[in-house]
């Protein structure tokens, strides 16, 4: 677009023209349709140099264009800052992920992979004070292995321990077991949630900014936000 030094050139007209052409050679622009702050400033200076001396640019309009430039520069700086923060968060997630592999976490679930050569500890989420509660342990085939009586409990998380034996006191094989906690409230049976430990085998980090997912032994993926406790 040719510039006539005898007539006023309005920056708004230049900006409109720049949207449909690729005449800007500023290296700050990311592509032909994007106008960077350097190109914006260059166009503003060009407008001042080529304005009509008999009809100089209105002060109010000039101030408005400076405000536009300031806003553009602020948005560019903000975008750079956000990109920097995103990169830092990604590095932090990767470091956090590496420290979780091989550790035990507690999640709300009714199934766990149990090493029956040692005691297994879990918790029951008790919604209100109860007179009695029990946890039924079943194997992978659905057969009842043992019932653990917990007695009266106050509201909160109540811990239970399974020694890895069946109702006859015999040790059972390691493997996947299901834990079902129940109580009676006002004459009706109520099933309660259980919090069980699981080993973290690997971690999946989202490439699109999503939540980190933990891959747990025998359970599959669980979001990090669902973890109640991180153990050793």
Residue 5 belongs to a domain: no
pTM: 0.61
CB 156 within 8 A of CB 193: no
User: Residue 72 to residues 26, 57, 84, 86, 153: CA-CA distances in angstroms?
Assistant: 15, 21, 19, 21, 62
Would you state the pLDDT for residue 21?
A: 40
Domain count along the chain: 2
Q: Which of 221, 117, 100 is nearest to 175 (CA)?
A: 117
Would you state the pLDDT for residue 18?
A: 43
Residue 2 belongs to a domain: no
Would you state the pLDDT for residue 100?
A: 85
Could you read off the pLDDT tens digit of each residue along the chain, which spans 232 residues? 444 444 444 555 544 444 444 333 444 444 444 556 677 667 767 776 776 666 665 666 666 766 666 676 677 777 777 766 666 666 666 677 778 888 999 999 999 999 999 999 999 999 999 999 999 999 999 999 999 999 999 999 999 999 999 999 999 999 999 999 999 988 899 999 999 999 999 988 777 767 788 999 888 899 888 999 887 6
Final residue in a domain of this structure, among 98, 125, 151 = 98
Final residue in a domain of this structure, among 41, 74, 98 = 98
Task: Provide the CB-side half-sphere exposure for 53 (13 A, CA).
Answer: 2
Are 157 and 189 members of one domain? yes
* Cα gap 160→119, rounded to integer Å: 10
Residue 84 belongs to a domain: yes
Are 214 and 112 members of one domain? yes
Would you state the pLDDT for residue 29?
A: 40
For residue 162, count CB atoms less than 10 angstroms from its CB and return exposed for 0-12, middle for 13-18, buried for 19 or more. buried
Give the residue numbers spanning the domain of 170. 104-230
């Amino acid at each position: 677009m040719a510039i006539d030094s005898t007539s006023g050139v309005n920056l708004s007209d230049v900006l409109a023209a720049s949207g449909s052409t690729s005449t800007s050679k500023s290296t700050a622009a990311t592509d032909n349709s994007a106008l960077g702050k350097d190109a914006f400033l260059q166009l503003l200076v060009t407008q001042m140099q080529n304005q009509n001396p008999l009809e100089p640019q209105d002060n109010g309009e000039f101030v408005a264009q400076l405000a536009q430039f300031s806003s553009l520069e602020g948005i560019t700086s903000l975008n750079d800052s956000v990109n920097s923060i995103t990169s830092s968060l990604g590095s932090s997630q990767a470091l956090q992920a590496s420290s979780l592999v091989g550790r035990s976490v507690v999640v709300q679930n009714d199934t766990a992979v149990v090493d029956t050569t040692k005691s297994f500890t879990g918790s029951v989420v008790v919604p209100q004070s109860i007179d009695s509660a029990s946890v039924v342990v079943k194997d992978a085939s659905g057969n009842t292995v043992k019932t653990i009586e917990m007695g009266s409990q106050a509201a909160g998380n109540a811990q239970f321990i399974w020694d890895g034996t069946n109702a006859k006191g015999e040790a059972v094989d390691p493997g996947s077991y299901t834990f079902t906690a129940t109580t009676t409230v006002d004459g009706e049976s109520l099933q309660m949630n259980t919090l069980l430990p699981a080993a973290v085998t690997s971690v999946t980090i989202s490439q699109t900014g999503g939540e980190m997912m933990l891959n747990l032994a025998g359970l599959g993926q669980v979001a990090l936000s669902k973890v109640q406790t991180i153990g050793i």
